Structures are given as C-alpha cells and as structure tokens.
C-alpha cells in the first residue's frame, strides 16, 4: 500500500515539475518576443527620416513597363522552366509574378516595384520589415533575419519543408520568393539567377 502511495506522490511531483518547466519556457519565450518588439520599434524609430525620404524619392519615379519586366524575367530558374507569369497585375502598380516547376519542385517569385504613388505605399511592409530583426521559433518552423546578395532578408522555414524569403531590394523592390521541395541553400542560387540588379 505504501509503495502505491509513493508511486502516486512521485507521479504527482513529476507532473508538477514538467508543468513548471513548460510555464518557465513559455514565460522566457514571451520575454524574448517582447524584447524583440521593443528593439524593432527602436530601429524603425531611428530610421524614420530615411524611410520618409525613400517614400518621397520613389513617388517621383516611373514604375517598370510590361516590356521592361518581360526583358528581365528569366525563362528558367534552377533549370526549371517558367510555367506561369503575370505582369502588372495590380492597376497603377508595377508588379511581376512567375512560377517555375518540375514535378513537385516549385519556385514562386513575386516582385512589386516601389516606384510611383501606389508603389511607394505598396512596398511599405517590406521597407519596415527590412529594418527589423527576426529570430522566432514555433511549432510551425522558424523566421530569421539573414543577409542574401548583400541585402537583409526575412527567411521563413516551415517544418513542412517550404522556404520563403522576403526583402526590400535596393530601396525600391519588394521581393518574395517561395520554394517547395527544394533545399534551403537553393534560395541564394535563385536570387543570383534572378539578377535583380538588372531591374534598375
């Protein structure tokens, strides 16, 4: 009988210990997230005048024409053929989207030109994101800030094996790249093959 009481007591202590450990971990994550939010707010505040200048400069520019997008858009990425493309799909906004795939391997690219009145506002979330520092982890995967082609980028890695990056390229272009069934290292090669500098 005493043995059963000791076993029950031991199980109770183990459950309590595990519960405390989980709560401690949760509190630590919340503190880390709050610290990150404060740090990001400070970064954006310090960059406020540069952001305002960027918006004014972009409003004065003309966004890329259909012909300019077409002459830039690669026919292949990682030896995968383009299977879909759409240019200037948002009225009054320079934009380009394309998909590449072979079997289940897929790449999606979407770019918004920040030039013009609508463009300067349309790239706003990317502009803000480029000033932030990401280092998050959850049951879904991770989000981190990395440098790619000399630009800060937000990298999301999902546990399903999907990767995506978003960046504000050359203070003008909002760039999203998403991959399926490709290694994380493929992102650098995709950016290199896109030759984003030729958009200028």
Output the tens digit of pLDDT for each of the chain's 200 residues.
556 665 565 555 555 555 545 554 554 455 554 454 555 555 555 678 888 999 999 999 999 999 999 999 999 999 999 999 999 877 888 999 999 999 999 999 999 999 999 999 999 999 999 989 999 998 889 999 999 988 999 999 998 889 999 999 999 999 999 999 999 999 999 999 999 999 98
What integer pLDDT is reported at residue 42 of this predicted model? 56
| Strand 173-180 with 105-113, pairing | antiparallel
**For residue 33, what are the CA distances in angstroms to 47, 86, 159?**
21, 38, 21
Edge-to-edge order in the sheet of strand 163-169: 76-77, 80-87, 95-102, 105-113, 173-180, 163-169, 151-158, 141-148, 135-138
Domains and CATH numbers, the chain: 47-199 (3.40.1000)
Given the structure tokens 């960027």, which residue do they identify? Answer: 54
What integer pLDDT is reported at residue 108 of this predicted model? 98
What integer pLDDT is reported at residue 159 of this predicted model? 87
What integer pLDDT is reported at residue 43 of this predicted model? 53
What integer pLDDT is reported at residue 27 of this predicted model? 46
**Degrees, nearest 5: CA angle 77-142-133:** 95
* pTM (two decimals): 0.76
Residues near 58 by Cβ (< 8 Å), separated by ≥ 6?
114, 115, 116, 119, 120, 123, 172
């Amino acid at each position: 009988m005493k043995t059963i009481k000791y076993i029950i007591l031991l199980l109770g202590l183990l459950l309590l210990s595990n519960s405390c450990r989980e709560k401690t971990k949760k509190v630590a994550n919340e503190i880390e997230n709050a610290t990150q939010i404060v740090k990001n707010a400070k970064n954006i505040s310090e960059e406020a005048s540069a952001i305002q200048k960027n918006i004014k400069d972009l409003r004065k520019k003309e966004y890329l024409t259909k012909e300019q997008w077409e002459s830039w858009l690669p026919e292949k990425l990682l030896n995968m053929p383009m299977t879909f493309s759409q240019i200037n799909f948002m009225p009054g906004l320079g934009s380009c989207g394309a998909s590449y795939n072979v079997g289940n391997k897929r790449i999606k690219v979407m770019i918004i030109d920040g030039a013009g009145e609508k463009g300067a506002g349309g790239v706003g979330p990317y502009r803000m994101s480029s000033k932030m520092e990401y280092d998050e982890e959850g049951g879904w995967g991770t989000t981190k800030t990395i440098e790619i082609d000399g630009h800060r980028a937000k990298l999301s890695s999902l546990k399903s094996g999907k990767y995506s990056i978003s960046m504000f390229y050359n203070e003008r272009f909002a760039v999203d790249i998403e991959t399926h069934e490709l290694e994380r290292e493929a992102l650098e090669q995709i950016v290199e093959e896109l030759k984003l500098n030729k958009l200028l």
